[in-house]
Every structure is written in structure tokens, then in C-alpha cells.
Structure 1
Amino acid sequence: SGVGLAHQVIGPRWPSPVGVISGPSFAEEVAQGLPTALVAAATEREFARDLADLLRGGTLRSYDSDDVAGVEVGGAVKNVLAIAAGLSDGLGFGHNARAALITRGIAETARLSAALGGDARTLMGLAGVGDLVLTCTGDLSRNRRVGLSLARGETLSDILAALGHVAEGVAAARAAAVLARHHGLEMPITEAVYRVLYEGLPVRRAVEALLAREPKSESS
């Protein structure tokens, strides 16, 4: 179908194991030698262990995993959720609203991960909750800054030009929205961010609509 994760697209065309690295890790802090923990996942467990061993040392701690799908989904969708957190923060909606977005964001990330073959337990680790909390709350988060700037009324093109770096959540919002629709999944936060970025939905309307959604079981 052409719709899938990187390792699902590359794997059949690549003779060697495919690996990914993710986790709560601002590059600036890694470069400064500040304590950081990562997870290395691969399509073959031995390669994942080797990759984790290569990364490990000094202030950098690494773990291995065979859940490539879960690590990929967690590492991508957290950037979309960070934009949502920035939108909420930029509107002055407070810490409670941000916490709600993060928590419900984990739920929709888990739905996408499961649909793509991921293990829900992975999202409770470094590539899930760890990376999500950092990216949604840290001042070094480019994706959070995109949301903050959009909430101030700046245009996306001006924001990206001023950043001077890639804000992965902008592209990830489109990809995640496509995957969610393809698999018939409800991902309201991702959909709202997509509509703000690509369809011109006003920021305040997007966030207020999310917070006013019809109540349902928390496990839904």
C-alpha cells in the first residue's frame, strides 16, 4: 500500500537488519556530556544489542529493544504532540491542559503503535513517555516552539525560517494523520495539529475543541 513505518518500507529492500535510536535527548545536552538515556531497537535483537553497546559510555546510557515499530511511532508522534502542547501553552491554558494533552496523546500514540505492530509497553519507556514529556515541556524543544509561535499568530513559513532547523513534527503530523485515516484510528490531537498546520484551522478553535470533546471512558 506504500503506507507504513520506515523499517517496513526499507526492510524488504535492505539485506541487513534495520535499527532505530530514540529517547529523551536534546542534541545540545548530549553534546555537552549531560546524562542521557536512549533506546536502540532493531529488526534483529542481536543487532539491537550491538547498537546499544556502541552508544553506551560515559554519561550516555542505552537500552536495547526489538520493538522497532513502537520506538518509531513514539519518536515521531511525540513531535506532533509537542506542537499541540506549545499551542496550548501559547494560549495560556496552563499546566493542567498541557498535562491532559500529553496524557491523551500517549493514548492515541498507543493506538497507532498497536495498529502498526508495536508493543504498548514500549510507550511506557524512553521512546514513549520519556521522549514525550521532554519534548512537550523542555525549552529546547523546536516542535514546542513551533506551537508557541503559531499561538502568537506567526505564520508557519516564518516560524520554520526563524528556527533554522528541522521541526520534525510538521512533517510527522501529515504522516501520522495519513496513517490514522488508513487504519481507521481516532487520533484527535494529531488531527487537530494537522488541520492547524495544513488547513488553516485557527489555533484557539483547535485547542478548545479538543478540550471540549465529548466525555468517554479513559481507556477509550
Structure 2
Amino acid sequence: MNEFSAELIGTAVLILLGGGVCSNVALKKTIGHGSGWIVITTGWALAVFAGVVIAGPVTGAHLNPAVSVGLALANKFEWSKVPLFVLAQLLGAMIGAFLNWAMYKDHFDASSDNPGSQLGVFSTGPAIPNNFRNVLSEILGTFVLVFCVFHFSNASGTSGTDKVKLGLGSVGAIPVTFIVWSIGLSLGGTTGYAINPARDLGPRIMHAILPMKGKGSSNWGYAWIPIVGPLLGAVLAALLFCFLSS
């Protein structure tokens, strides 16, 4: 695979599995209906593992615009490649969301009386709407993710052309899995922890355009928070990493 296809396919699998666990838990008449937050956070963590295994050998598995921006800001990734990676991540997230909808369509139809649950499969939302604390939640969650990525990856290179890649093959994806799992369990209760602009925006776009029985609003008024928050968190993580490394 080239870098674009690796990021696209890796992100598509991430969203297929991550959105899939949300479908299994939230939508009616699924076998896993109502199985709860532990199942959702575990499913998302393992979804990250799958995406990293696919894209890791080629790109280091960013799968997240915030990660790409953070690495570029720390001079660990070429700025010129950031737009290409972000486009691949966004398209991959849209593809993953579409495949999830196609698989669970009968259950989306069965949940037509609960448009909030339908939207929750695609995108995040606040448990208690409060713009400041919702943004803070996304900043903190993404800060932890990106700051940890700097420390458990091979981030010793100083050239902008160096790729930051996880070592030990597929085993290298395990630390990312545990970090995402921890973020979900500890910090995900306020907003559903997008910690990834593509993870939220791509599926939200698909929610807006896909035909769904009983579909409600895509809540575009909230959509800026899982974009701005993760990017700010990544910037802060990169700045602190650079300061401590100087």
C-alpha cells in the first residue's frame, strides 16, 4: 500500500469496528443491545489496534488529523503530507461509517423512534452541554493520546522527513490500544471522547446524507468541538514534548 491508501483503509477499519460496537450496544434488536460503556470503550480500543496494524508498517498509523498535526508541529512529520493524510483519514472515516450503516441497517430502522441513538453511532455528543468543558474534555483526552504517542513510538528522529513508526510489528499497536482504552474509561464520560476530528466529522457527514428511517438532526452546532478540541490537545502535547526535549 502507499501512504494514502494505508491511512484510508486503516481509518475505515477503525471506524467500521468502532462504529460497529456503538451500533451493537445502542441500536435495538442487536445481540449486544444495552451491554454498556465497558463494551464500547473496549471495542473502540481494539478498533484502534486493527487500524494501527494495517497502516502502521506504511505510515506509522496516524489515522487521526490531530496526530498528523502534532507530529508535524514537533518536526517528526512533513507538513507537506498533512493535507494528504487528513484527506485519507476523512474519506476512510466516511467509508467505515457507511459500511457500518449498511451492515446494521435493519437495526437502524428498528431504532427509528430514537434518533439520538442513531446519531450516537456516527458521532459524539455531550452528556451535559457545556462548550467550555466539552472542549476541555477533548483537549485533555487528545493531549494524553498524542503525548503518549511521542513517548512509546520511535520519535527520536529530528528530520521532518522521518516517519514516526511503532516498533515490534503488530505488538507495537498494543500501547496505543491501552492508551485509547484508558482515555475512554477515564475521560470519555463527558463527550464520548472523539479525540480525532476525522472520527467525528466523517461519520457525521454520512449521518447527514444517508437515508435513515426516523433520522433526526446531525447536530452540526456541536460538530466544531470534536474538531477544535483534539487539534488544540495535539498542539499542546507537541509543544510540551518539544520543550521537554530541548
Tell me the TM-score normalized by structure 2. 0.26
Q: Which has the higher contact order (CA 8 A, sep 6+)?
A: 2
Tell me the TM-score normalized by structure 1. 0.28
